[in-house]
Amino acid sequence: QDFIAKAAQAECDAYISGEVSERTFYEAKELGVHYFACGHHATERYGVQRLAQAIATQFVIESEYFELNNPI
């Protein structure tokens, strides 16, 4: 969420994050960037798997997802 200004400078239409805060919501609105706070679980698990599938399809490569138990 701390890179929303850089996303705006790069002329991104949308920014997807696992974090959300009130300040970022308003900053994104002021900068004209669509901000999607999707939560850590969704972005770090399902989001990365879907991204890997899209990349694998587009570039005709194999991808594999490894679920690791992290106690932190």
Q: Does 51 lie in the same domain as 20?
A: no
Q: How many CB atoms lie within 10 A of CB 14?
A: 10
Domain limits for position 33:
1-38
Q: Does 31 lie in the same domain as 45?
A: no
Q: What is the pLDDT of residues 2-31, one digit of tens each?
A: 899 999 999 998 998 888 889 998 999 999
pTM over 0.75: no
Q: How many CB atoms lie within 10 A of CB 30?
A: 11
**Assigned token pair, 7:** 């996303």
Total domains in the fold of the chain: 2
- Per the DSSP assignment, residues forming a β-bridge with 34 are 14
Q: Does 18 lie in the same domain as 50?
A: no
- What is the rounded CA–CA span in Å between residue 17 and residue 15? 7
**Assigned token pair, 64:** 């594999």
Q: Does 61 lie in the same domain as 29?
A: no
Q: Does 49 lie in the same domain as 31?
A: no
Q: Does 50 lie in the same domain as 24?
A: no
